[in-house]
Amino acid sequence: MSYLLVGLIVLVALAPLWQFKPSKVQRKQAQLREAAALAGLFVEFRDCPLPDYADRERKQWVFYGARLQPARSKPRESVFWHRVNDGGVSSGVLAAAELPTVGPEQRWLSKPALRPLPDFCSELANSWVAVSVSDNSCGAFWDESGDSDEVQKVAKLMLTWKRLLESAGGVSP
């Protein structure tokens, strides 16, 4: 009986430590981020500058990106492209028919306006909500709803885009 009592006391004492065990979602996110790092990308939380009419509740998104070498002559233009659904554009902005189309139901807006959309955007799943390029990085914003295979696919696209940007010295070669 005393061993049972000692065992119960030990379990009660160790019970708070179970809260530090990662959940399934946390383990999946760690695996995705590790896969990205092994593929040559960095992962960080960033403010995603989605406009108000994009109907996004959160500002912080997970950014999967590649570091760029600084442009030699002049700094790269920072451009942000975001996906817009047909019903997601307010009347004060371009009509949905005027937006660049990339496959069925995939329309994108750029900030600054009217910048050419990178070719690889047609290959991104709908869970990738935006892509951006700045002087020091290029990458995509994601809700991490995919799997490691999707991370590998996007890593290849980002690293190819990185090579194109570094060889051209601008936003799009």
Per mean pLDDT, which range of 11-20, 89-98, 101-110 is the poorest? 89-98
Give the residue among 124, 133, 118 at the shortest CA–CA distance from 106: 124
Banded model confidence at residue 106, pLDDT cuts 50, 70, 90: low
- pLDDT for residue 155: 94
> Over 50: is that where the pLDDT of 159 sits?
yes
Would you call 91 exposed, middle or buried from its count of C-beta atoms within 10 A (0-12, 13-18, 19+)?
exposed
Give the residue among 109, 56, 65, 51 at the shortest CA–CA distance from 84: 109
Quick: pLDDT tens for 61-90: 899 999 998 877 788 888 999 888 655 443
Quick: pLDDT tens for 86-98: 554 432 334 444 4
